[in-house]
């Protein structure tokens, strides 16, 4: 009886073959690009035959690799199908989002979803880790980035990146809005993991690069600190739209940061066969337009 190849190598090969790119496969599996490349090399060593040609801008199958990938992909799909039949949950939809997106946009909007789709069991995986559609079993993901995200994924634009400076009215009560660059320079800054203050202050030609102030691990915490008057936060406008409308926060300067890191809803193309996933996608897109 021949020995089975290493499972991690097979998973890495199957995913790399989907995208013909180690980096895209690594993003999908939630590991490093180097780990995927190493696992594929180990598989090739085990089999004694090259599976990919390494090119400057990606990968190409060898003739042996192409035929082997067809069989390996079919085997993984059979395993996934068998698992789904063993534990069917037709009304369950698992969506992966960042903790900030969950806290500041998704959860506040969930009452509307529950009212419109009481039969769908929507589950939220809030993590800063890039979740895998296959490894983590997610159905949908909201990710900030730039297309393309992968040949097997459909991407729907939810929100453009538009980062603004916000503060509690009490913090700027002695200033006229928009605040002057001098006033902005003296205000306490709230920092998160994105560290956008140097770039933002550059828009205002302020020499103070914003290094001082409270440092927090997540944007949602910076927003909470801003609500309590502890400083100025930089945040995507859509995440604080409700606070701005209710005047719990105010935009203190018209300058904004834009870029190519927009917010997208990602779904595997085969998910179109699932009516519950289709309903969640339609609701997210409709809600994002409000």
φ, ψ of residue 140 to 5 degrees: the values are -140, 155
Q: Cβ distance 126 to 4 under 8 Å?
A: no
Residue 4 tokens read as 């089975």
Question: What is the share, in percent, of the chain residues with pLDDT greater than 70?
Answer: 94
Give whichever of 92-106, 125-139, 141-155, 259-273 has the largest mean pLDDT: 92-106
> Cα dist. 112→100, 103, 107, 134, 287 in Å?
19, 15, 10, 29, 9
> Cα dist. 110→116, 245, 287 in Å?
10, 19, 10
Residue 59, H or E segment: strand 58-61
128-136: average pLDDT: 77
Buried residues in 6-38 as b, exposed as e (16+ CB within 10 A): eebbbbbbbbbbbbbbbebbbbbbebeeebbbb
pLDDT at 28: 85
Q: Cβ distance 234 to 200 under 8 Å?
A: yes
Calpha distance 265→159 (Å, rounded): 9
| Peptide bond between residue 145 and the one before it cis (omega within 30 degrees of 0) | no
pLDDT at 210: 54
Q: Is a pLDDT exceeding 70 seen at residue 208?
A: no
Q: Which residues contact 88 (CB under 8 A, 6 or more apart)?
A: none
pLDDT at 129: 80
Q: Is a pLDDT exceeding 60 seen at residue 271?
A: no
What is the pLDDT confidence band of residue 272, given thresholds at 50, 70 and 90? low
pLDDT at 89: 64
Alpha helices in the chain (DSSP H): 7-19, 22-29, 33-47, 63-86, 99-101, 107-116, 181-186, 197-203, 219-227, 241-245, 275-288
Q: Cβ distance 192 to 217 under 8 Å?
A: yes
Question: What is the share, in percent, of the chain residues with pLDDT greater than 90?
Answer: 67
175-192: average pLDDT: 91
Calpha distance 290→284 (Å, rounded): 10
pLDDT tens digit sequence for 69-110: 999 999 988 887 777 666 656 688 999 999 999 999 999 999
Where residue 277 falls (left for φ over 0; alpha for ψ -120 to 50; beta otherwise) is: alpha
Asked which of 54-63, 73-82, 163-172, 206-215 is least confident by mean pLDDT, the reply is: 206-215
pLDDT at 206: 81
Nearest partner of 130 among 150, 116, 108, judged by Cα:
150
Q: Locate tokens 């296959």: which residue? A: 134
Asked which of 213-227, 235-249, 260-274 is least confident by mean pLDDT, the reply is: 260-274
pTM above 0.75, yes or no: no
216-239: average pLDDT: 96
pLDDT tens digit sequence for 26-62: 888 888 999 999 999 999 999 999 999 999 888 999 9
Q: Cβ distance 20 to 58 under 8 Å?
A: yes
């Amino acid at each position: 009886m021949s020995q089975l190849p290493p499972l991690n190598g097979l998973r890495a090969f199957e995913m790399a073959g989907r995208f013909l790119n180690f980096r895209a496969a690594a993003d999908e599996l939630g590991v490093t690009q180097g780990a995927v490349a190493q696992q594929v090399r180990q598989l090739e060593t085990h089999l004694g035959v090259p599976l990919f040609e390494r090119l400057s801008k990606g990968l190409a199958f060898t003739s042996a690799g192409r035929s082997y990938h067809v069989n390996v992909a079919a085997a993984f799909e059979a395993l996934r199908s068998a698992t789904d039949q063993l534990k069917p949950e037709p009304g369950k939809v698992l969506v992966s989002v960042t903790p900030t997106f969950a806290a500041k946009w998704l959860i506040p909007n969930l009452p509307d979803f529950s009212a419109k789709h009481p039969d769908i069991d929507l589950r939220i995986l809030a993590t800063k880790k890039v979740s895998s559609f296959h490894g983590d079993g997610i159905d949908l993901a909201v990710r900030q980035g730039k297309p393309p995200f992968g040949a097997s994924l459909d991407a729907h634009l939810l929100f453009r990146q538009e980062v603004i400076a916000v503060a509690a009215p009490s913090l700027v009560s002695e200033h006229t809005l928009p605040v002057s660059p001098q006033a902005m320079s003296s205000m306490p800054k709230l920092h998160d993991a994105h560290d956008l203050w140097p770039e933002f202050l550059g828009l205002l030609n302020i020499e103070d690069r914003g290094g001082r102030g409270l440092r927090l691990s997540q944007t949602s915490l910076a927003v909470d600190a801003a609500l309590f008057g502890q400083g100025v936060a930089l945040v995507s406008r859509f995440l604080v739209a409700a606070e701005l409308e209710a005047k719990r926060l105010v935009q203190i300067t018209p300058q904004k940061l834009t870029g190519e890191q927009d917010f997208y809803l990602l779904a595997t193309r085969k998910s179109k066969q699932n009516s519950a996933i289709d309903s969640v996608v339609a609701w997210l897109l409709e809600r994002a337009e409000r």
